[in-house]
Structure 1
Amino acid sequence: MVIYKVKPGDSLWNIARFFNVPIQSIIAVNGLNRPEELIVGMDLVIPNDSLQRDRIYTVKPGDTLWSIAARYNVPISRIIFLNNLTPPYLIFPNQTLIISTAEDENIFKPAIETLGYYDPRNVSDKTFIIDALGKYLTYLGIFDFPFIETGDVIGTIDEEILEAAKRENVLVMPVITNLAQGTFSSELGRAVLSDIEKRNNLINNILFLLRKYNLQGVIIDIENLYPEDRNIFTEFISELSQRLHNNNQILILNMPPKWEEWADRPWVGFFDYNALGPLIDIAAIMTYEWGWREGPPRATTPLEFVRRSIDYAIYNNIPANKILMGMTLYGYDWTLPDTPENLARAVVLPEVWDLGRRYNAGINFDYNVKQPYMDYITEEGISHRIWFVNALSHYYKYGLVDEYGLRGVFYWLLNQPLPATWYILSNLFSIRKSLT
């Protein structure tokens, strides 16, 4: 696999000819909406398996042949053979090992888990996304199931969604939220979680929901609680965890990224990583939205911030094998100059391409934050900047999964198109299916 950056004068025909790849393959992998009109700076995935290289690994302190083999889903005997190791098969820090060759790369890949969030509301064909992307997913989070002031949970799952997920061997999980009138409600969260009777009712309703649909776990996405409510939130997660684990069910917790304790800050202050880490099975860390619709124009998922967030989580009682790293499938378009009244507009990659064609704007890539952006000026003379994600920015983030040995990644939101990421994912990793 190669990621190629479009240059002035390029056409899809000459790119395909150079790499000896069918044009239709490039169109399909990248989801090109107008392939005859490429944009300078566009990053294209070239699906040429013959360009694969051997996978090389540098031994770290504490590594064993067993741990390396398990991480990359490769037989120990294969590593021994490729590196001519002799008994007693000792390895040392900074030693370079061949893990697999180009010939067997499709067989031996790191095995990870993936979670995709899906909002089936206002979708006519509710199973299309699952049929198309199910093979890339371990879990499917159905958004959303809000609770109300009594602790009751609102929401249903269509039978056709359950059947489609079952065909693709994907675990369906409801996403429990404190959303009220379109916003995460601090008051609703406090009203329910601080009241023992209402909190118990919420837990009972979650367990009933899992029994009703024969589900194996739940995702908690409670956001924007008051910082001083961190203890009641931790108590709720502790009580829910015990009840779920008594039934051998899975608890996934959506968590905001941070690299300091920030106990008094909104949005992040009520999350006590050290206390929550042992209680949950999976931490879905939302490593994105540093640039967001109500903030100034900046990178939405700068890689250094992502790295610092992962480091902090691991250091604070959330091991790498519990972490799913957040991946977005969208960006934001800001009007310049930025003012508090001008909220950014969410955009997906095909929209970015269309804006580039319309306003003759090229795509730039900031290698400091590992993310693309585009500047354009409308017919009315209004300046805009878009920070977004694409094949190359996702490729860099996938690299952190391998580097840290993370459990995997999650995607917000499957309803948004970014076809190249699925090719990159399947090229780099194999997907664990929990039902096999």
Structure 2
Amino acid sequence: MQIQVIQKGQTLYQISQIYGVSVDTIAAANEIDPSQALVIGQALVIPIVGSYYWVQPGENLYVIARKLGVSPQELASINGLSLSRPLPAGFRLYIPPFPRPSAEVNAYLEPRGTHVAPALSQSAKEAAPHLTYLAPFSFRIKRDGTLQAPPLGDLASIAAEQGVTLMMVVTNLENDQFSAGLGHIFLTDENIQNRLLETIISTAKQFGFRDIHFDIEHLLPTDREAYNRFLRKAAKQIHQEGYLMSTALAPKTSAAQAGEWYSAHDYKAHGEIADFVIIMTYEWGYSGGPAMAVSPIGPVRKVLEYALTEMPASKIMMGQNLYGYDWTLPYVKGGAYAKAVSPQAAIELARKNHAQIMYDYTAQAPHFNYWDEAGKEHTVWFEDARSIQAKFHLLKELNLRGISYWKLGLSFPQNWLLIENNFKVVKR
């Protein structure tokens, strides 16, 4: 699989000639209209076996092999070169496909209202071949220990057809906000807690869920140990039924990290109790904050490296956003919220407004600016093939269990192509 970044004046036809792949094949892989002009800085995925590398000034086979994680001898042999041959800048090397490690992949989806929208069902169908888990968000805990279920539609049959494990997401959402007060009730009232666990298990049996996933957030710091005790009790009952139990964790960089989203999340305890955890490594750039990458790779790495000091890599799933944000400038705290955009919509915005897509190599994220019809400046940070590939490199470097996406329903076809190119997706 090749990632090609569009330069000024390039066309799909020219790219098809470079790689020997038809215009229609490239357009279909990236779900773009071949009749439309490409955007400068747009990243395309070219569906070829292996990839190509263009030599940079001063590089030799040893430097390139180290960068790509292959042996110099293998690289020389595949390309019919001598190890001692100088390589001119711009020389094209063929890189064979690497062995794919196994990985688990989860995707949340969030049905709204009373039914699962047809477009969301279709998104689930398209993603299911590439998933280990499918996670409808969410079963909301009520103050009496019962649950308010989300609409599920045909999600169970979609999962079954593709061998995907249904993940039952249980939250302390109340009036669309995570509630510390609600959390305190079921963490400290044994009768309500027992009713809740009975309801969770009976609901899992009813709908065919095989992983119970606790996404309990914004708890009182003083309820940290109560949450740990609850998880131990829940894990015992859930495991007796033959189900997995997982949790969602806020992105921390130390055990002592304070704050309403962090204090009650005990990485070490969750690593001991849960079968696996999903760490929400996104939302550095968020709708109510200043414009920046949603999941810049440096902060993501710091969170994951801390997590590895508290639990084994085999229990960690890295969180990843399937969206970006469009901010109106200048940013004013408490002002207008940024609008969520899919990667496909971001590219269309850039095309419509004749913007050039830039790439921040420190954050490993694409971005661009444009002016709207009212004369207001906007900045957009989103995800593309390059930013996702950077996260896959990190996942493989740290040997993590897998990756978890928030959330389906936002078009990003390149992601699923790159998943299959990088990993053998585990089916449970």
Does the alignment reach a TM-score above 0.5?
A: yes
Q: Which residue of 1 aligns with 2:318?
A: 325
> Do the aligned partners of 1:114 and 1:409 also contact (CA within 8 Å) in 2?
yes
State the Cα deviation string for residues 237-264 of structure 1 (Å, max 9, x = none).
Answer: 1111111122221011111111122453
**One-letter code aligned to 1:115:** N
Q: Secondary structure at the match of 2:118?
A: coil
8 Å Cα contact 1:129/1:415 also seen in 2? yes
1:194 shift after superposition: 2.0
Q: Percent of counterpart pairs with the same letter? A: 32
Q: Secondary structure at the match of 1:258?
A: coil
3-state SS in 1 of match to 2:379: strand
State the distance in 1 between where 2:399 and 2:37 align. 39
Q: How many residues align?
A: 389
Contact map agreement 1:227 1:263 (CA 8 A) in 2: no
Find the aligned partners of 1:34 and 1:364 in 2 and give their Cα distance: 22
Q: In structure 1, what is the equivalent of residue 330 of structure 2? A: 337
Change in Cα spacing, 1:50 to 1:280, as seen in structure 2 (3 Å) is closer
CA pair 207-23 structure 1, distance change in 2 beyond 3 A: same
TM-score after normalising by structure 2? 0.86
Q: Which amino acid aligns with 1:187?
A: G
Rounded Cα–Cα distance in structure 2 between residues aligned with 1:152 and 1:50: 51
Match of 2:346 in 1: 352
C-alpha change, 1:148 and 1:377, in structure 2 (3 Å) is: same
Distance 1:148 1:158 in 2: 19
Contact (CA 8 Å) 1:12, 1:36: kept in 2 or not?
no
CA distance in 1, matches of 2:247, 2:65: 31
Rounded Cα–Cα distance in structure 2 between residues aligned with 1:157 and 1:344: 27
State the match for 2:4 in structure 1: 4
Q: What displacement does 1:102 show?
A: 7.1
Counterpart contact for 2:12–2:34, Cα < 8 Å: no
TM-score, normalised to structure 1, is: 0.84
For residue 206 of structure 1, give the secondary structure of its aligned residue in structure 2: helix
| 1:123 Cα offset (Å) | 0.7
- In structure 2, the residue matched to 1:142 is 136
Q: Contact 1:336 / 1:385 at 8 angstroms: preserved in 2? A: yes
Which one of 391, 395, 398 corresponds to residue 397 of structure 1?
Answer: 391
Are 2:157 and 1:168 equivalent residues in the alignment?
no
CA distance in 2, matches of 1:339, 1:378: 18
Per-residue deviation, 1:125: 5.7
Alignment check: 8 A CA contact 2:5 2:43 kept: yes
**Secondary structure of residue in 2 paired with 1:112:** strand
Residue 49 of structure 1 aligns to a residue whose secondary structure is coil
**Alpha-carbon distance in 1 for matches of 2:48, 2:405:** 25
* Separation (CA, whole Å) in 2 of partners of 1:6 and 1:233: 50
Task: String of CA shifts for 1:11-55, please: whole Å, max 9, x gaps.
Answer: 1111111211111221122222565221111111111115379xx
Aligned with 2:332: secondary structure?
Answer: coil
C-alpha deviation, 1:126, in angstroms: 5.8
- CA separation in 1, counterparts of 2:261 and 2:195? 25
Partner of 1:261: 255
**SS at 2:358 equivalent:** strand
What SS does structure 1 have at the residue aligned with 2:138?
Answer: strand
**Aligned positions of 1:112-151 closer than 5 A:** 112-121=103-112, 122-124=116-118, 127-151=121-145
1:184 aligned residue? 178
Q: What one-letter code is carried by the residue in structure 2 that aligns with 1:348?
A: S
1:43 is matched with: 43
Q: Partner of 1:16 in structure 2?
A: 16
Compared CA separation, residues 260 and 9, structure 1 to 2 (3 A): same
User: 2:270·2:277 contact (CA, 8 Å) conserved in 1?
Assistant: no
Q: Secondary structure at the match of 1:215?
A: coil
Alpha-carbon separation, structure 1, partners of 2:248 and 2:14 = 45
Which is worse superposed, 391-400 or 163-172? Answer: 163-172
Give 1:161 shift.
Answer: 2.1
Question: Aligned pair in 2 of structure 1 residues 57, 357: CA closer, same or farther (>3 Å)?
Answer: closer
AA matched with 2:23: I
Alignment partners' CA distance in 1, 2:360 and 2:154: 43
Q: Structure 1: give runs of 5+ residues left out of the alignment.
A: 59-78, 83-100
Contact residue 156 and residue 208 of structure 2 kept, 8 A:
no
Q: Secondary structure at the match of 1:129?
A: helix
Uncovered stretches (5+) of structure 2, i.e. residues with no partner: 54-63, 75-93
Residue 186 of structure 1: how far off its partner (Å): 1.8
Counterpart of 1:31, as a letter, is E
Matched letter for residue 6 of structure 1: I
State the one-letter code of the partner of 1:119.
E
| RMSD of aligned Cα (Å) | 2.2
Amino acid at match of 2:29: V
Q: How much does 1:276 deviate? A: 1.7
Distance in 2 (alpha carbons) for counterparts of 1:57 and 1:5: 22
Say whether residues 1:419 and 2:413 are aligned partners: yes
Q: Report the Cα distance in structure 1 between the residues aligned to 2:348 and 2:136, rounded to whole angstroms.
A: 30
Residue number in structure 1 paired with 2:82: none
**Contact 1:40–1:362 (CA<8 Å) still a contact in 2?**
yes
- Aligned equivalent of 2:296: 302
